[in-house]
């Protein structure tokens, strides 16, 4: 598994003047070397961890460490459902319903060439849209844990 730390400074009035502190959000990623469809992988992650991986930055991307000899693409928690999101400019959404707009698509992706509505991360960390029924290993994430440091 891999940890992600996001440091977010904050300022609040403590009654004794302004105090500064940081929020650290810890997210753990787990590579699951079982081959499943996107929907089955989502269900597995929701039962065993929290959800399929949400990737919100290049820092998150750099923390996805797969086994050395693993060369298969792996599902992440990004999916496209144009019918559900009709009328919006972007129909890709994260499985956990987070609102991050970070994307790391490979050149020319997403192309929806073969009715591809699910995203997978390749070994070079770039993303491609792939038919959701394809069986791939996948990335799960633990729930976020927030720590405040004064």
- Where in the chain are the domains? 2-149
At 149, list the tokens: 């440091």
Considering only 20-29, 69-78, 102-111, 138-147, which range has the smallest mean pLDDT? 20-29
Radius of gyration (C-alpha) of the chain in whole angstroms:
17
Residues in Cβ contact with 123 at an 8 Å cutoff, skipping those fewer than 6 apart: 66, 70, 71, 73
At 2, list the tokens: 């891999």
By percentage, how much of the chain surpasses pLDDT 70?
71
Q: With cut-offs at 50, 70 and 90, classify the pLDDT of residue 11.
A: very low
Q: With cut-offs at 50, 70 and 90, classify the pLDDT of residue 10.
A: very low
Mean of pLDDT values over 85-105: 76
- pLDDT at residue number 15: 53
Q: What would the pLDDT profile of 49-86 be if each residue is shown by its tens digit? A: 999 999 988 888 888 887 777 778 999 999 987 666 55
**Residues 12, 47: Cα–Cα separation, whole Å:** 37
Q: In this structure, are strands 51-52 and 18-36 parallel, antiparallel, or unpaired?
A: unpaired
**CATH says 2-149 is which class?**
alpha beta
Tokens 């009709």 -> residue: 86
By percentage, how much of the chain surpasses pLDDT 90?
39
- pLDDT at residue number 70: 76
Q: Tell me the pTM.
A: 0.75
Cα→Cα distances 93→81, 90, 101, Å: 8, 8, 9
């Amino acid at each position: 598994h891999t940890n992600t730390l996001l440091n977010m400074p904050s300022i609040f009035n403590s009654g004794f003047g302004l105090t500064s502190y940081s929020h650290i959000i810890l997210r753990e990623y787990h590579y699951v070397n079982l081959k499943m469809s996107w929907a089955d992988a989502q269900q597995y992650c929701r039962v065993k961890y929290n959800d399929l991986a949400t990737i919100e930055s290049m820092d998150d991307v750099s923390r996805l460490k797969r086994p050395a000899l693993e060369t298969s693409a792996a599902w992440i928690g990004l999916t496209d459902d144009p019918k559900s999101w009709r009328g919006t400019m972007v129909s890709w959404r994260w499985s956990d319903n987070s609102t991050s707009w970070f994307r790391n698509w490979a050149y020319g992706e997403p192309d929806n060439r073969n009715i591809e509505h699910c995203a997978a991360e390749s070994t070079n960390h770039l993303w491609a849209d792939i038919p959701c029924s394809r069986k791939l290993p996948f990335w799960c994430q633990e729930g976020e844990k927030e720590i405040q440091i004064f």
